[in-house]
Amino acid sequence: MRLLLTPLFATLTLANTLELWPGQISTFLATPQTTASEPTSIILLIPDIYGHNSTATKTLAQKISTLSNLIVVVPDVFEGEPIPEGGAPSFPPGWQDRHGPAQVERVLDLTLAEVKRRWGEVKVGATGYCFGGRYVFRYLSAGKIAAGVAAHPSSTTIDEIVGAKGPIQIATAATDPSFPPAIRQQAEAALAEKVPYEMNTYGGVGHGFAVRASDPSDRRDVYALESAAENAVAWFKFWLE
């Protein structure tokens, strides 16, 4: 299902379309150059801790939109409180409590409701990165999305992973404390008996590789970034048709 690698991350121009959706949710929309007047599928991107308005996340959303020819919706799941980019992440006191499943899923549910209001009963695929990866499993388990992609998921449990009830693709680093080999192997064994799945493991890269290359001059880092995006698009092209 691999597409030909294309170095779009270096060449994309962001439309920077931010809208205020119901619930006062700031939402980034990435749109392809041409799209159907009545799309049948939409992609929901659930960002990492740096939020919907980070340059890396918006660039990724635009790339996925360009390659898939689908609209990509990226809501502000942190409601104005993402972690600032640059250096090691620093979490303000109480941040994790303010952005737990109840709060994040309120935003995601409002976003999905607005997707249905705007575009009707479209199929929704969700792709989540780091923090956002957890919610792909949870929403597949709840039957709220048709297919999912989780890249280097963090803070998720094995029960959430194996609870997935739809097609799931996982992109992971070979060595990642947030998704260690033991969990990866356990997840793969359980998913193989339940749902269509794909596990793509990248050596020589670290956590977060599918959103930003840790070293843009390192061809291996850039390859992993590009490959993960294109594999995600191939997955959605297959399962959202």
Residues 6+ apart with CB under 8 A from 65: 30, 31, 32, 43, 71, 72
Is residue 97 annotated as a catalytic residue, yes or no?
no
Residue 188's Cβ-count burial label (10 Å; 0-12, 13-18, 19+) is middle
CA angle 84–161–202, rounded 5-degree value: 65
Q: Which of 52, 130, 152, 221 is catalytic?
A: 130
- Residue 121 backbone phi and psi in degrees, to 5: -80, 65
Is residue 52 annotated as a catalytic residue, yes or no?
no
Q: Which of 48, 76, 207, 221 is catalytic?
A: 207
Residues 6+ apart with CB under 8 A from 110: 21, 22, 23, 25, 75
Is residue 99 annotated as a catalytic residue, yes or no?
no
Measured from the Cβ of residue 199, the count of other Cβ atoms closer than 10 Å reads: 15
β-bridge mates for residue 147, sequence order = 125
Q: Which of 48, 76, 176, 221 is catalytic?
A: 176
In contact, 31 and 13? CB cutoff 8 Å: no
- The catalytic site residues sit at 130, 176, 207
